[in-house]
Amino acid sequence: EVQLVESGGGLVQPGGSLRLSCAASGFTFSSYWMSWVRQAPGKGLEWVANIKQDGSEKYYVDSVKGRFTISRDNAKNSLYLQMNSLRAEDTAVYYCARDRYCSSTRCYDYRFDYWGQGTLVTVSS
């Protein structure tokens, strides 16, 4: 059974930092791109960042570029999101989600097919 379990959320002051983790199990973690998606209270979903299977490519939504860093440790089946210079507008539930599978020649199944339960990040003084 595929499972994604996020941790690391909490209350942080504006300008502060937080590191989120996502522990994956039940599938070959190193074969998939992985993404972070967030949802502000009462608002819609927003894709935040993703990372290639081997960590060699990383992409971000414009609003977090230069402040957030996505990373992964395939040996530990874990995904991370380092969040610096946090702002009030970063307050949200952060979900990790399994992204697409890519072989050496093409990618398959563009979808977020498994999601964690989410971890709440609150940026407030």
Partner 1 sequence: QSALTQPASVSGSPGQSITISCTGTSSDVGSYNLVSWYQQHPGKAPKLMIYEGSKRPSGVSNRFSGSKSGNTASLTISGLLAEDEADYYCCSYAGSSTFVFGGGTKLTVL
Which residues of the shown chain bind partner 1 in the complex (CB under 8 A)? 33, 35, 37, 44-47, 50, 52, 57, 59, 61-62, 95, 109-113, 115-118
Residues whose CB is less than 8 angstroms from the CB of residue 51 and which lie 6 or more positions away in sequence, other chains included: 33, 34, 35, 57, 58, 59, 70, 71, 72, 79
Nearer to partner 1 by Cβ, of 17 and 109: the residue is: 109
Nearer to partner 1 by Cβ, of 34 and 125: the residue is: 34
CB of 47 to partner 1, least distance (A): 4
CB of 85 to partner 1, least distance (A): 19
Tokens representing 87 are: 């702002």
Nearer to partner 1 by Cβ, of 56 and 125: the residue is: 56
The rounded distance, in Å, linking the Cα atoms of 70 and 59 is 8
CB of 41 to partner 1, least distance (A): 12
User: Count of alpha carbons within 13 Å of 67, Cβ hemisphere only?
Assistant: 17
Contact indicator for 124, 87 with CB cutoff of 8 Å: no
Nearer to partner 1 by Cβ, of 106 and 125: the residue is: 106
CB of 96 to partner 1, least distance (A): 10
Q: What are phi and psi of 22, to 5 degrees?
A: -140, 115
